[in-house]
Amino acid sequence: MNPHTAPAETVVRLDGITKRFGDTVALDDASLSVRRGEVVVLLGLSGSGKSTLLRHVDGLERPTDGRVTVLGREVTDLTGRALRRLRSEVGFIFQQFELVPSLTVLENVLTGSLATVRGPRLGLWSYGRAAKAEALARLDRVGLLDRAYQRADTLSGGQQQRVAIARALMQRPQVLLADEPVASLDPESSDQVMALIREIAADEGLTVICSLHQVDLALSWADRIVGLRHGQVVLDTETEGLSKAQVMEIYGRVATSTDQFEAIELELSAAGAGVAAGAANTPGTAGGAASVSEDAVR
């Protein structure tokens, strides 16, 4: 960072968040701060608390203990209209896309503007011209303008997730949350979706908090990695300049057994050799991080 440049504003802050569901502790004294314009990846295995943490940012969950502050507002104090206003400024991308299958792509994107319109919306005719023009522009931005009038359920998984991104952008959010946005996608589509999220964040000055379990993707696209294990923050590090030893430390922090760690280490070494051999024939591959299978980190 330039020493003469003031540090970016903190837009998301979680202080000592604990969340219990009965006897289960989903988050255990977790703290996190995210600056404006950062892309932060929450990294961890299933059940580590990633999704629960994300849901605290826009008030979908309330902490048992601790404080959540987003865009200068104490989320735990918000109700009714004030909470809805905050949520309109926080976009959310889900693992399973959450599109309406029988609606057209354009109609699905338009639902992202519902917080700013009045009355029932019964088909395209009930949205204003300006909203439709903006929705088409959002589809163009994610490369799906030519699919605007197709049913959503005719698209591939990667295309559906891009529609979900366009829908979130219709909110004109300041913060974008993404909960395992590529878990249901093949590796090529996963890379494309993460590249798109990163590009849009840079173009529009968005703050992004994204949960993943693939360390290679996190290294390629995140400014920071925050590791979660059993609901606790066990790692918070910038990705720039990470060495292989540090990458292995990240895997070790989120793995839960020696067998998992050894499997990860073996596959990372093998994949790293493959990446090195094929790099000359793969221009534009993001980050150069070795690819590790989903099975290895589960």
Q: Which domain holds residue 135?
A: 10-241
3-state secondary structure at position 208? strand
Identify whether the C-beta of residue 175 lies closer than 8 Å to the C-beta of residue 209.
yes
The CATH number assigned to the domain holding 198 equals 3.40.50.300
Residue 272 in any domain: the answer is: no
Residue 277 in any domain: the answer is: no
Per-residue tokens: 129: 């011209």
Residue 248 in any domain: the answer is: no
Total domains, the chain: 1
Residue 102 in any domain: the answer is: yes
Place of tokens 């591959």: 285
On the CB side of 94, how many CA atoms lie within 13 Å of its CA?
Answer: 7
Q: What is the pLDDT of residue 296?
A: 34
Residue 161 in any domain: the answer is: yes
Q: What is the pLDDT of residue 132?
A: 92
**Sequence-distant (≥ 6) Cβ neighbours of residue 183 within 8 angstroms:** 95, 213, 294
Q: What is the pLDDT of residue 286?
A: 38
Q: How many CB atoms lie within 10 A of CB 189?
A: 17
Give the C-alpha distances (Å, rounded to integers) separating 127 from 109, 110, 124: 11, 8, 6
Q: How many CB atoms lie within 10 A of CB 86?
A: 19
Give the tens place of pLDDT for each residue, 172-202.
Answer: 999 999 999 988 888 888 899 999 999 999 9
Residue 27 in any domain: the answer is: yes
What is the Cα–Cα distance from 175 to 21, expressed in whole angstroms? 27
What is the Cα–Cα distance from 252 to 256, expressed in whole angstroms? 8
Q: What is the pLDDT of residue 235?
A: 87
What is the Cα–Cα distance from 42 to 60, expressed in whole angstroms? 18
**Sequence-distant (≥ 6) Cβ neighbours of residue 205 within 8 angstroms:** 36, 37
Residue 91 in any domain: the answer is: yes
What is the Cα–Cα distance from 251 to 227, expressed in whole angstroms? 9
On the CB side of 206, how many CA atoms lie within 13 Å of its CA?
Answer: 27
Question: What is the model's pTM?
Answer: 0.79
Query: Among candidates 181, 12, 202, which has minimal Cα distance to 89?
Result: 12
Residue 218 in any domain: the answer is: yes
Residue 165 burial (10 A CB sphere; 0-12, 13-18, 19+): buried
What is the Cα–Cα distance from 150 to 148, expressed in whole angstroms? 6
What is the Cα–Cα distance from 76 to 66, expressed in whole angstroms? 9
3-state secondary structure at position 47? coil
Q: How many CB atoms lie within 10 A of CB 89?
A: 17
What is the Cα–Cα distance from 182 to 180, expressed in whole angstroms? 6
Buried b or exposed e, range 98-123, using 16+ CB within 10 angstroms: ebeeebbbbbbbbbbbeeeeeeebee
Q: What is the pLDDT of residue 292?
A: 34
pLDDT beneath 70, residues of the chain? 1-7, 118-123, 243-245, 247-298
